[in-house]
Amino acid sequence: MKLIKPLFYLSIFLLLGCSKTIDIEEITIDQIQTAYQNGDYTITELVQVYLDRIEEIDKNGPALNSILQINPDALKIAKKLDKELKKGKIRGPLHGIPVILKDNIDTHDKMNTTAGSVALANSKPLQDSWVAQKLRESGAVILGKANLSEWANFHSNFSSSGWSAVGGQTKNPYDISRNPCGSSAGSGVAVSANLCVIAIGTETNGSIVCPANNNGIVGIKPTVGLLSRAGIVPISFTQDTPGPMARTLRDAAICLGVLTGVDKRDSKTSQSVGKSYSDYTQFLNEDGISGKRIGYLTTHKGAHFRVDKLMDEAIEYFESKGATVIEIDEITKVNVEDPSFQVLLYEFKQGLNDYFASLGKHAPVKSLKKLIEITFKNDIEMQYFDHELLKQAQKKGDLNSKEYLDALEEMLLNSRAGGIDRVMDRYNLDAIMAPTGNPAWKTDLTNGDNFGQYSSSPAAIAGYPNISVPMGNIDGLPVGLSIFGKAWSEPLLLEIAYSYEQGTMHRKAPEFGD
């Protein structure tokens, strides 16, 4: 494998006019905060290093193409935060931490929110999303917006993850010919390639955990309702959620706590009362595996013998640390993916129309019907993929339709009480685990994605939490382990996942191969 070594590959960065060097390779939130307190460097200096690295590696170098937009006010924000820090004011645990947002998350600033579509290429939301608001309140520096699978990958009968008409194709930092997965492709790549400290992705089904798998990082897909979706371009009211992506579980947990809270703009968040925390680091227990009963979902066992080998090693590690591992061959006896797809079509139509209305009188597109007209007349949009899901959604009725209500009831019943809850109660399980997916496939704009095995659906369709952490590597390509469970079980999942992460330390920084 040929390695590309750009100027900043060693991550030793000399700041212009300054004798300091700042090594950001695999740096953590705690290390940054310690450096700020010690006066080793300023927030402004660190932000400049990240902006330089994005220019060198993402735009030039191996040209990962993970960042759609740079925040033109990033340095201005950093300077303001430096002034506050000098006065002893610390907004929160993310004070001065560089963050990237997936570009379906609204920011009310000089950046657009595009969802990767030419129809929203110049769209200016009227207010911050809940996510952006909470990040700013905690002192984060939003560096920019990440490329994504267009419309969070709900647009065509087949597609290439990480491709959007606005941004083109995002590349995997471990091998730029391979796919980063999606739809939070740019978020996953930016974190893995050390272009930011943390990133925010969104998931409907697999869009956080799959990029975590392909890019060798941590991804937390929370219980739906733990984090507000207000100001996020939607697919599904029932399944959508934002979530943190980071190189370490501790960093992801810090970010998760910042983003919780009840938001009147998202009724789902009312369900989190008494079930959420502002500090999830309290659950990071290095001995968190001991005594746990964990199910191993064997649905895809035998699909890839080298993934099976990594999984066998993970099971051996869990058992060596005092866990009991029980094989389970299914989550539900009923197909829940078909009703889930119907729910997504209905909720995508309603959700998009509501989102377009939120953009006000200057919205660049007013309805799904108009979006279809714009998309199907655009040569870039139609170059590779058919966008037929937009038409399928448009044909659906409203959310009072019998077909929708029946599909929603069937999906929730069989994924929850008849699915994860049933299996976990039967075997008295604390969590369920499975390989997150296969190693990254070759990007193919002609035939689309080749996911192989994946384990995101049970938790995603139920709206339950799922954490993916690195499990090992195959030919230099990372593979993740997913740990999921019942609603609001983030504390327990974090305990287990952290214990595994700290005991194995499988995360390996990419070397930008081709």
Q: Among the options 66, 117, 138, 183, which is catalytic? A: 183
What pLDDT shows up at residue 20?
Answer: 72
* Arithmetic mean of pLDDT, 257-264: 98
Question: Does 204 fall in a domain?
Answer: yes
Question: Does 118 fall in a domain?
Answer: yes
Whether the per-residue pLDDT at 9 is higher than 90: the answer is no
Question: Does 17 fall in a domain?
Answer: no
Q: Is 207 a catalytic residue?
A: yes
Q: What is the model's pTM?
A: 0.96
Question: Does 440 fall in a domain?
Answer: yes
pLDDT digits (tens, 9 = 90+) for 35-79: 999 999 999 999 999 999 999 999 998 999 999 999 999 999 999
Instruction: Give me 298's structure tokens.
Output: 């064997």
What pLDDT shows up at residue 103?
Answer: 98
Q: Which residue has the higher pLDDT, 262 or 511?
A: 262
pLDDT digits (tens, 9 = 90+) for 153-176: 999 999 999 999 999 999 999 999
Question: Does 247 fall in a domain?
Answer: yes
What is the tally of structural domains in the chain? 1
CA distances from 59 to 53, 115, 194, 443 (A): 9, 20, 14, 19
Dihedral over alpha carbons 374, 377, 379, 382 (to 10 degrees) = 80
Q: Among the options 117, 207, 456, 457, which is catalytic? A: 207
Q: Among the options 66, 102, 124, 457, which is catalytic? A: 102
What pLDDT shows up at residue 16?
Answer: 42
CATH of the domain at 491: 3.90.1300.10
What pLDDT shows up at residue 3?
Answer: 37
Residues 6+ apart with CB under 8 A from 141: 43, 47, 74, 77, 78, 81, 96, 97, 98, 99
pLDDT digits (tens, 9 = 90+) for 93-152: 999 999 999 999 999 999 999 999 999 999 999 999 999 999 999 999 999 999 999 999
Question: Does 436 fall in a domain?
Answer: yes
Q: Is 367 a catalytic residue?
A: no
Q: Is 236 a catalytic residue?
A: no
Question: Does 500 fall in a domain?
Answer: yes
- Give the separation between CA 239 and CA 459, rounded to whole angstroms: 9
Residue 12's pLDDT band, with cuts at 50, 70 and 90, is very low
* Arithmetic mean of pLDDT, 395-399: 98
Question: Does 171 fall in a domain?
Answer: yes
Percent of the chain having pLDDT more than 90?
A: 95
Whether the per-residue pLDDT at 8 is higher than 70: the answer is no
Quick one: DSSP state of residue 344?
H
Nearest to 125 by CA among 97, 98, 154, 103: 103
What pLDDT shows up at residue 6?
Answer: 37
Neighbours of 372 (CB within 10 A): 17
The domain of 185 spans: 25-504
